Chains A and B, each alone.
Chain A
Amino acid sequence: MEHTDKKTAFNQGLIIFIFLAVLTALEFFIAIVMDAVVLLIFIALIKAGLVIYYYMHINRLNREDDGPEESYSFKTNTNRLGMWLFLLSDSFIFGGLMVARINLLGLTRPHLDQSLGLVVTAVLLISSFFMNRAETAMEHGDRKGFLVGTSLTLILGIVFLLGVVGIEWPQAIHEGITASSGAAGAIFFMMTGMHAFHVLTGVIFLVIILRNGARGLYNEEKHWAVEAATIYWHFIDVVWIFFYPALYLIGELL
């Protein structure tokens, strides 16, 4: 376990969040003023890299074992590898959807509500920030900070779900983009639906760790479930980092 100071860790999370927020805003404005797909892909890659490195802590995969095979830390290292392998596998679904979107729509996009898209993206990004705070708090044994952070993440996650499924979907249908209207509608509902399904499972995961955390089942040494939920939640954010420009920003309106 690296023993970084709690305050330093919180600050790092904040700085990364600011970077992500600025990049998202930049992305949005670039999409408005010019037609620069390569630049948008580049920004998305930077954002994903920041989340994967600083929020999902991919470098923890390199952690040395400091106990025998039966110890909690050894098993956590194994679990962490399993989790990342699962995400690798899962990313192939999203990759496949992205391929389908590029194949069917090319450099066009459906007519969607831009401000709503930006809002839900921001909501998911902020939820990632609080998730990071929650995990950092748990790592330093701050249970209250953990509970507050997780609750906020949970609420923002539900807001995201409501925003996409409850507002964006009916609006799209109202605009004539339905599941059966054509390839664009089909791809839009498939991509957002698959992502929303993952958000829903993430929300369930958060409810579980919130409940068990409130009952004091985790401590600063043993909190694998919290770490797993955190990695999963950030993964959902990474997926959206690519889906947001793919659905809202890239290409000309259909």
Chain B
Amino acid sequence: MNKLKPIWRALLLLLMGGFVGYALGVGLDALIGGTVDFVAPISGVFSLLGSATAFFFGLIGYRGITKGLVYQIIGTFVGAGFVTAIRAFMGLETFGSFFFTEPAWVFGGLVGTLSFLSGVGAFADWYKWAKGESTPEHHQDPEGFIKYFGVSLDHKIIGIQYTVTSLFLMGVGGTFAMIFRTELAASRLQFLTTTFKAFDQNGLQFYNTLMSLHGMVMIAGILLGVAGMINYLAPMLIGAKDMAFPRLNAFSFWIAVPGALLLLSALFLGGFDTGWTGYPPLSTRSPLGIQMFFLGVYMVGWSSILGGLNLIATVVRLRAKGMTPFRLPIFVWAAIATSIISLTATQLIGLSFQLVMFQRLFDMGFFDGTRGGNPVLYQHLFWFYSHPAVYVFVLPGLGIISELLPVFVRKPLYGYRWVAMSSLGIALIGFLVWAHHMFASGLNEYLRVPFMYSTLLVSIPTGVKFFSWVATLWKGKISTPTPMLFVLGGIIVFLIGGLTGPPSATVSTDLHLHDTYFIVGHFHGTIFGGYVFPFFAAIYFWFPKATGRRMSEKLGKLHFWIMTPSFLVMTFAMMRVGLLGMRRRIADYDAMLGFDLTHLITTIAGYLIFISVAIFLYNLFHSMNHGEKAEGNLWNSRSPEWLVPSPMPVHNYDQAIEVVGEPYDYGLAGSKYVDFTNNK
């Protein structure tokens, strides 16, 4: 009962905060409009902020994230007010339909983010360093669940913070998908015919906003989930005490929080209708929401860049003794490959978004053909990141598959060096393929074929991975607890996603498939197989390490057996309608095309996936306190983190680790991977 208390208080405050925010929004709107409008567009964004702040206040009081949110609200007002004052002074328009004008909202969003970071305390140590004071290497984290809601320098806490935020964002993104999938279940418009005045969007605009936000919120969620896995696992797997730069690590996580809020606020500030790609010239004419989308992605991008930097430095500098490059766990190799992409290429999506943002704010003509600009330039800059980005999503997941497979097959991983190199190979080839997204964009003819071949080249290192997995499974002593089920499911689903890649990369077929639902089916296949399934596998596998309890096997298996068939049905149905001519990103289709039934099946399958994830979330939160105790080496793994007690001690390993053998030599008599040395 005592444990339930803060959560109920928090939920009660959430309602009250939402109401106060709503009243504030309506009041502000009345202030400039002159009349009281009970569905004023800005009431939504204020009730979102108010309820989030009040929720965390109820949960943990005025500290950590609550303080950050309060600072963010104040910072947004100060920043927006500053610009508004300047505009008033210059005789420009001072208020818009969302109370502040667009430049004021953008500057307010920026100041709000920085305020959040200083409020939450992510700058505190750096500020002291600038003043010439030194700070202790590690802060003492508070006891209990409160430590997850404030700045902590412990990579395990940050990893869990990332993972939970990721699950939250993916839940939100999934809910968006459910809403617009419902509309797509049958031809004709069903419920998107009304105008959603509170969002200042009509039904079709609202569809576009939900569809676009589904894409980007999921991507943000995946990036945070990837960072969560890497943060939690990489230092443990290489025998380090922590990441190389713990403060930077905390900063990377906390900048994603206001970033995610900005991204979600796009829904309330007029939305945007460009899809997640934000192509100009459409994005230069979208409503205000697109600016919040740009800003939000910019912040999440910084999180990804700095996380990648940290991981590379950690692996290069802090490996245990004896851990030579070819004794690194495969997951760490995959994390390095991922980090190389996120460290470098992410800057270019930031730049492309920034250029559109500036084109809107200062009327600069980067992508305006009438003034010598070039819209295709945007697509080059954008895809230079956004294609490799999908490898950021899937490489860690594929690493997880290679990492877990030998544990449940009790056999060495087949072709270790090839698998290690294949991750790097995919990452590096990934830099050379971006223009295959632009075959239909009016790209120079002579560029198409080289980009087609470079794209097809990706299938070689990916094939190496598949070959290794199949060969590892061959004649193994396979056992199938929940994590292994998800690993096997991931392999199958990723195979489907992978095999539909070459037709999408080949110019002749792509010109037909471009912008159809086939691409949507292909993309979901790769991301579910390469990220979602392995992510669940990793959570089921390492949950006991984080909590000392294990998740329910029964619910886990239920989750798997609902999700996998539903997903396969969904992705095949998407591909089918795509081949029959269904365009992506549209709210309606002609009944005469004859795929109403397939769409209905897709929607039902989508709902089943949603239900299975709800089962997973219940399992996750229930097992934290009520799961079966699991303190020892539950899976009989060779990896060092399972040789110490669960939950993991604060500084990971009391004794230094020395690597004395190969990591995946399961089932070989007398082989040894790590030794604990007693010298400290």
Asked if A and B bind, the verdict is yes
Interface residues of A (CB under 8 A from B): 69, 77-78, 81-82, 85-86, 88-90, 92-93, 96-97, 99-100, 103-104, 179-187, 189-190, 208, 211-212, 215, 217, 225
Separation in Å of the B230 CB from the closest CB of chain A?
15
A180 & B365 in contact (Cβ 8 Å cutoff): yes
How far apart are the CA atoms of A90 and B365 in the complex, in Å? 24
Known contacts: A104-B366, A183-B372, A187-B366. The answer to whether A89 contacts B344 by CB under 8 A is yes
Q: A78-B245, A103-B377, A104-B366 are in contact. List 10 more A-B contacts (CB 8 A).
A: A81-B313, A81-B316, A85-B312, A85-B313, A103-B374, A179-B362, A182-B373, A183-B366, A185-B364, A186-B358
Residues in A neighbouring B555, C-beta threshold 8 A:
none
A-B contact pairs, 7 of them (CB 8 A): A78-B244, A82-B313, A92-B347, A93-B348, A181-B371, A187-B366, A190-B364
How far apart are the CA atoms of A88 and B309 in the complex, in Å? 10
B309 & A86 in contact (Cβ 8 Å cutoff): yes
B365 & A78 in contact (Cβ 8 Å cutoff): no
How far apart are the CA atoms of A82 and B358 in the complex, in Å? 30
Known contacts: A179-B362, A208-B130, A211-B132. The answer to whether A93 contacts B343 by CB under 8 A is no
How far apart are the CA atoms of A185 and B347 in the complex, in Å? 22
How far apart are the CA atoms of A163 and B461 in the complex, in Å? 51
A190 & B358 in contact (Cβ 8 Å cutoff): yes
Query: Which of B310, B350, B372 has a CB less than 8 Å from the CB of A93?
Result: B350
Separation in Å of the A49 CB from the closest CB of chain B?
20
Residues in B neighbouring A186, C-beta threshold 8 A:
358-359, 364-366, 373
Interface residues of B (CB under 8 A from A): 129-130, 132, 244-245, 248, 305, 309-310, 312-313, 316-318, 343-348, 350-352, 355, 358-359, 362-366, 368, 371-374, 377, 380-381, 384
Residues in B neighbouring A182, C-beta threshold 8 A:
365, 371-373
A183 & B365 in contact (Cβ 8 Å cutoff): yes
How far apart are the CA atoms of A246 and B313 in the complex, in Å? 33
Residues in B neighbouring A208, C-beta threshold 8 A:
130
A96 & B371 in contact (Cβ 8 Å cutoff): no
A93 & B313 in contact (Cβ 8 Å cutoff): no
Q: Nearest B residue to A254 by beta-carbon distance?
A: B372
A69 & B318 in contact (Cβ 8 Å cutoff): yes
Query: Which of A78, A89, A100, A215 has a CB less than 8 Å from the CB of B132?
Result: A215
Query: Which of B132, B309, B381 has a CB less than 8 Å from the CB of A212?
Result: B132
Known contacts: A89-B344, A179-B363, A186-B365. The answer to whether A82 contacts B244 by CB under 8 A is yes
Separation in Å of the A229 CB from the closest CB of chain B?
11
Known contacts: A88-B344, A97-B351. The answer to whether A189 contacts B364 by CB under 8 A is yes
A85 & B377 in contact (Cβ 8 Å cutoff): no
Residues in B neighbouring A217, C-beta threshold 8 A:
132
How far apart are the CA atoms of A182 and B374 in the complex, in Å? 11
Residues in A neighbouring B348, C-beta threshold 8 A:
92-93, 96
Separation in Å of the B223 CB from the closest CB of chain A?
15
Known contacts: A90-B347, A186-B366. The answer to whether A100 contacts B377 by CB under 8 A is yes
Separation in Å of the A3 CB from the closest CB of chain B?
25
Residues in A neighbouring B373, C-beta threshold 8 A:
104, 182-183, 186
B345 & A85 in contact (Cβ 8 Å cutoff): no
How far apart are the CA atoms of A186 and B381 in the complex, in Å? 16
Query: Which of A82, A184, A215 has a CB less than 8 Å from the CB of B309?
Result: A82
Separation in Å of the B375 CB from the closest CB of chain A?
11
Known contacts: A104-B366, A180-B363, A183-B366. The answer to whether A89 contacts B309 by CB under 8 A is yes
B366 & A77 in contact (Cβ 8 Å cutoff): no
How far apart are the CA atoms of A181 and B345 in the complex, in Å? 30
Separation in Å of the B371 CB from the closest CB of chain A?
4
Residues in A neighbouring B362, C-beta threshold 8 A:
179-180, 189
Q: Nearest B residue to A193 by beta-carbon distance?
A: B358
A183 & B343 in contact (Cβ 8 Å cutoff): no
Separation in Å of the A131 CB from the closest CB of chain B?
19
How far apart are the CA atoms of A22 and B372 in the complex, in Å? 36
Known contacts: A100-B366, A183-B366. The answer to whether A82 contacts B245 by CB under 8 A is yes
A104 & B358 in contact (Cβ 8 Å cutoff): no
Residues in A neighbouring B347, C-beta threshold 8 A:
89-90, 92-93, 96
A180 & B364 in contact (Cβ 8 Å cutoff): yes
How far apart are the CA atoms of A77 and B347 in the complex, in Å? 25
Q: Nearest A residue to B244 by beta-carbon distance?
A: A78
How far apart are the CA atoms of A90 and B347 in the complex, in Å? 7
